[in-house]
Structure 1
Amino acid sequence: MSLTSTLDPAVDPDLRDGLLDLWTDVSNADGAVGFVPPVTRDAVRPELLKHLVAMAEGRTRLLAGYDEDGRVAATAFLTFNTHRLMTHWVWLYTVMVHPRHQGKGYGRDLMAAAADAARTLDGIEAIRLTCRGGLGLEHFYGSCGYKEVGRIPAAIRVGPGDDRDDVIMLLPLN
């Protein structure tokens, strides 16, 4: 079964709650999406609200992936770069696949859908993302066509004595 992706779905309470549950579940499964487990929905909610506000303001686009039951199973947020000399590429943030769907190819489906969505945006030539080192994520993104273009050692502190590299990756869309 494959992931069904939708760019800019209507945000209703079901989608909002699905995003909140996804982010919480991914975080608690050790997903590198801005939190360290254990995390609660209440801790995640303010971060989700920041994304929703950015969407309402037109600065961010949501790519939502749905499983065969129509539940939110994956997400990625495409965020426009506001620096006037860098508007030809977008950021990809909060890339998540629900733990129950990992290993099914949903991550690859999501990354392909994100690239396809970015290609529909006027003037966008590349996607840039960062990921937490030490988890092998750069290998996954590399297998999706991204190239590592930079690394900031020990930029992410996930706990006392546990610093990780911030890995910068780029996907040219041409």
Structure 2
Amino acid sequence: MALTFQLDPPLTPDLRDGILDLWADVSNAGGAVGFVAPVSPEAIRPELVKHMVGLAEGRQRLLVGFDAAGAPAATAFFSFNTHRLMTHWVWLYTVMVHPSHQGKGYGRDLMRAAEDAARGFDGIEAVRLTCRGGLGLEHFYAACGYKEVGRVPGAIRVAPGDHRDDITMLLSLT
């Protein structure tokens, strides 16, 4: 069954806790979403609070994919640029699909829903995201229409002696 995507759902305590659980489950399954396993929802909470502040201030927007039970199974956060010369593109952050839903095409569905949402934002001509090298994520994003536009070798330290490239991808909406 497909996910149901919603842009800017009401940020209830249940949704907040669902996103924390999703984020921890993705991280603990090896997902590249800013943390390294093992990690608990409580360790992730301060980062989610930062996102929530951005949502409250209108600097960010949230896209959630809900499963058949109504639980958050996928997310992506949009972050708008405040620099006057860069307001024509947005960042896409914290792109994740729950491990139990991976391999079902939900990642592509999430990226398609994110593209559709970005096309609805006034004046937005492109979407940028970064991904961690060493996992093949750049190939997934390329299959979704993104092009690699930058790479910083070894910029991400996953663990002592384990450095990964920070890869910037761009999707033109024009």
- Place the TM-score, normalised by the shorter chain, in its bin: over 0.9
User: What does 1:26-45 correspond to in 2, within 5 Å?
Assistant: 26-45=26-45
2:7 corresponds to 1:7: yes
Give how far 1:8 is off.
Answer: 0.3
SS in 2 for 1:104: coil
User: What does 1:95-134 correspond to in 2, within 5 Å?
Assistant: 95-134=95-134
Q: Distance in 2 between matches of 1:55 and 1:29?
A: 27
- State the one-letter code of the partner of 2:14: D
SS in 2 for 1:37: coil
- In the alignment, which residue of structure 1 is the partner of 2:142? 142
2:169 corresponds to 1:169: yes
Give the aligned CA root-mean-square deviation in angstroms. Answer: 0.5
Deviation track 1:8-63 (CA, whole Å, cap 9, x = no partner) reads 00000110010000001101001000000000111100000000010000000000
Instruction: Give the % identical residues.
Output: 75
Q: Distance in 2 between matches of 1:103 and 1:70?
A: 20
- In the alignment, which residue of structure 2 is the partner of 1:74? 74
- In the alignment, which residue of structure 2 is the partner of 1:56? 56
Return 5+ residue gaps in structure 1 as ranges: none
Runs of 4+ with deviation above 6 angstroms: none
- In the alignment, which residue of structure 2 is the partner of 1:25? 25
- Kindly tell me the number of residue pairs found equivalent between the two proteins: 174
Q: Distance in 2 between matches of 1:21 and 1:106?
A: 18
**TM (normalized to structure 1)?**
0.99
Q: Distance in 2 between matches of 1:11 and 1:42?
A: 18
SS in 1 for 2:164: strand
Give how far 1:134 is off.
Answer: 0.3
Q: Distance in 2 between matches of 1:53 and 1:106?
A: 27
